[in-house]
């Protein structure tokens, strides 16, 4: 297979749905819905995460996300951000399924507000219930290869370990465990949380991840549309580098020009 063919055929599949873009973007923290829509467009993302919240009864005429990002063109992935128990998360996703009409969802059950680290006991319990109810949960989780295996066994359709705390932008802090998870998983693995800039996204892809999910790195950059473009390029570059297979590292220099024929 040539590199050209690789690029064209390099899709990924989650729960039977096939996507070309390996970048999933969040839709929070933008200055406006216009800016949000422009950034999604620039990112090339085919999946966006969305939250489920109460309608503002006192002002129903407020602009809506669906008016700017068409759910018929981009797959909405409802999340459970802000849920701290399995029950809250399940309740939220039941409503999301009714609002959207699909089963593909992002599950996250948080343990505490300071770190927004996932509570894995609640996350696993919620995964089991959701799968029984016909949901296809992509699951935000810790970077623990045993915990992710348990999630997979429970029916998670994708494993989404953090690279660093949500919204921190610290970059991939756990390359060893991310790689272990990638090697052991038989469902897609996406780094979810921690990316701060383009090189972080490329690094996640170079580790063999199937994709990257990010929100703050784009939304809180000075120019979100430009950063969205950067992230698109970085995810593609990282993926190609992974497929190409990097050179071995050496401890010392090795000249690139021939030594023979020196004057």
Partner 1 sequence: MALKESIAIHVNGDLRHVTVGLTLAEMLHELGLDARRVAIERNLEIVPRGTFSEVLVEEGDRLEIVHFVGGG
Select the span of 93-101, 144-152, 222-230, 232-240 touching partner 1 (CB under 8 A): 93-101
Q: Establish if 221 lies at the interface with partner 1 (CB under 8 A).
A: no
Q: Establish if 52 lies at the interface with partner 1 (CB under 8 A).
A: yes
Q: Which two tokens stand for residue 234?
A: 């970085």
**Contact assessment for residue 195 and residue 211, using Cβ atoms and an 8 Å cutoff:** no
Interacting residue with partner 1 among 1, 9, 55, 176 (CB under 8 A): 55
* Minimum CB–partner distance for residue 66 and partner 1 (Å): 6
Is 106 designated active site? yes
Give, as ranges, the residues between 175 and 214 that touch partner 1 (CB under 8 A). Answer: 214
Q: Establish if 215 lies at the interface with partner 1 (CB under 8 A).
A: yes
| Dist. CA 262–CA 240, nearest whole Å | 36
Smaller CB distance to partner 1: residue 130 or 219? 219
Total residues at the site for partner 1 (CB under 8 A)?
Answer: 38
| Dist. CA 69–CA 208, nearest whole Å | 30
Give, as ranges, the residues between 149 and 168 that touch partner 1 (CB under 8 A). Answer: 166-167
Select the span of 22-30, 117-125, 179-187, 222-230 touching partner 1 (CB under 8 A): 22-30
Closest CA to 27 of 53, 8, 61: 53
* Minimum CB–partner distance for residue 68 and partner 1 (Å): 9
Q: Establish if 96 lies at the interface with partner 1 (CB under 8 A).
A: yes
136-141 and 158-161 strand pairing? parallel
* Minimum CB–partner distance for residue 208 and partner 1 (Å): 24
* Minimum CB–partner distance for residue 98 and partner 1 (Å): 4
**Which helix (H) or strand (E) covers residue 136, if one does?**
strand 136-141
Long-range contacts: 37-40, Cβ < 8 Å, 24+? 37/68, 37/69, 38/224, 38/225, 39/218, 39/219, 39/224, 39/225, 39/227, 39/228, 40/69, 40/74, 40/228
Q: Establish if 78 lies at the interface with partner 1 (CB under 8 A).
A: yes
């Amino acid at each position: 297979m040539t590199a050209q063919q690789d690029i064209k055929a390099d899709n990924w599949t989650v729960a039977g749905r096939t996507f070309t873009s390996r970048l999933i973007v969040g839709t929070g923290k933008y200055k406006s819905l216009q800016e949000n829509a422009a950034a999604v467009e620039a990112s090339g993302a085919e999946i966006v995460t969305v939250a489920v919240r109460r309608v503002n009864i006192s002002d129903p005429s407020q602009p809506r996300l669906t008016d700017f990002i068409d759910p018929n063109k981009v797959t909405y992935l409802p999340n459970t951000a802000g849920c701290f128990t399995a029950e809250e998360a399940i309740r939220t996703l039941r409503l999301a399924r009714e609002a959207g009409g699909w089963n593909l969802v992002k599950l996250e059950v948080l343990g505490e507000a300071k770190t927004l680290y996932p509570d894995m006991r609640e996350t696993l319990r919620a995964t089991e219930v959701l799968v029984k109810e016909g949901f296809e949960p992509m699951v935000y989780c810790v970077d623990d290869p045993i915990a992710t295996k348990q999630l997979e066994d429970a029916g998670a359709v994708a494993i989404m370990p953090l690279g660093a705390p949500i919204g921190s932008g610290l970059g991939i802090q756990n390359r060893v465990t991310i790689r272990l998870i990638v090697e052991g998983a038989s469902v897609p693995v996406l780094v979810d949380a921690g990316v701060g800039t383009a090189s972080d996204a490329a690094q996640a892809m170079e580790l063999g991840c199937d994709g990257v999910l990010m929100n703050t790195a784009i939304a809180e950059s000075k120019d979100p549309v430009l950063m969205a473009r950067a992230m698109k390029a970085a995810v593609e570059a990282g993926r190609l580098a992974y497929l190409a297979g990097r050179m071995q590292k050496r401890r010392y220099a090795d000249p690139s020009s021939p030594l023979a024929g020196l004057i």
